[in-house]
């Protein structure tokens, strides 16, 4: 068994075990202790972040899904493994045009402070909607990660919602965008939470990054 097969199987077993919601942190003073590596998930509102987290962990309701942009304005932490192996961090959705300016300002302070000051943050996963490709609000979070020197992977969501030819074009354009950003990984993963596409690869990437 080569490394990729091994890490994929280890990740499958890990996420089939205990995954528990730990806490929500509306500010840095509420962050949990830093005794486990963290992988943070970022994405604009309605990109399918909650659905992807549920798919990765094999749970139906681990992460709440909401059609209300900007509803969750906290960092949500989930413990994975017994003994504790890593933590998933569900970051607040961004790009909510309807949100009040003070909410957007709070979001920026919270996310920026977390990205810059969290020693156990190993990697971020930035979700991009396959149907739309990289939007200006996505570039904004990518630039925040670049300036915070936090390495990140781009993951396409809802890949089952478009034709294969369209997906190939979006993938190529997104990879070209990634090459412009110093902290972005050049390869990306296309996923579908509904169909299970790419889920094993994301799990393996999360475990591999946490252990690196």
Q: How far apart are the C-alpha atoms of 128 and 159, rounded to whole Å?
A: 10
Report pLDDT for 164.
Answer: 96
Q: How far apart are the C-alpha atoms of 41 and 93, rounded to whole Å?
A: 9
Q: pTM value? A: 0.92
Report pLDDT for 135.
Answer: 93
The ranges assigned to domains in the chain are 3-211
- Of 87 and 94, the structure prediction assigns the larger pLDDT to 87
Report pLDDT for 67.
Answer: 46
**Chain mean pLDDT for the chain:** 90
Of the chain, the percentage scoring pLDDT greater than 70 comes to 92
For 14-53, how does the pLDDT look when each residue is reduced to its tens digit (9 = 90+)? Answer: 999 999 999 999 889 999 999 999 999 999 888 999 999 9
Edge to edge, what strands does the sheet with 121-129 contain? 19-25, 75-80, 86-90, 38-43, 121-129, 152-157, 189-190
92 φ/ψ angles, rounded to the nearest 5 degrees? -60, 140
Q: What is the CATH number of domain 3-211?
A: 3.40.50.300
Report pLDDT for 98.
Answer: 61
Report pLDDT for 66.
Answer: 46
Report pLDDT for 72.
Answer: 58
* 70 has pLDDT over 60: no
Other Cβ atoms less than 10 A from the Cβ of 187: the count is 11
20 φ/ψ angles, rounded to the nearest 5 degrees? -130, 140
Q: How far apart are the C-alpha atoms of 21 and 62, rounded to whole Å?
A: 7
């Amino acid at each position: 068994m080569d490394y990729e097969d091994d890490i994929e199987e280890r990740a499958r077993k890990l996420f089939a075990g205990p995954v528990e919601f730990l806490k929500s942190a509306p500010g840095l003073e509420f962050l949990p202790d830093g005794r486990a590596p963290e992988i943070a998930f970022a994405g604009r509102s309605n990109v399918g972040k909650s659905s992807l987290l549920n798919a990765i962990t094999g749970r139906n309701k681990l992460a709440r899904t909401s059609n209300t942009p900007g509803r969750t304005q906290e960092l949500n932490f989930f413990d994975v493994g017994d003994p504790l192996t890593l933590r998933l961090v569900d970051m607040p959705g961004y790009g909510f045009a309807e949100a009040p300016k003070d909410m957007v300002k709070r979001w920026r302070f919270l996310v920026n402070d977390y990205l810059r000051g969290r020693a156990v943050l190993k990697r971020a996963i930035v979700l991009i909607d396959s149907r739309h490709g990289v939007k200006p609000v996505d570039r904004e979070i990518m630039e925040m990660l670049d300036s915070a020197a936090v390495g990140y992977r781009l993951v396409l969501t809802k890949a089952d919602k478009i034709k294969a030819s369209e997906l190939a074009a979006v993938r190529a354009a997104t990879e070209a965008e990634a090459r412009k950003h110093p902290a972005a990984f050049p390869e990306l993963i296309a996923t579908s939470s509904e169909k299970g596409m790419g889920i094993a690869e994301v799990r393996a990437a999360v475990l591999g990054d946490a252990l690196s």
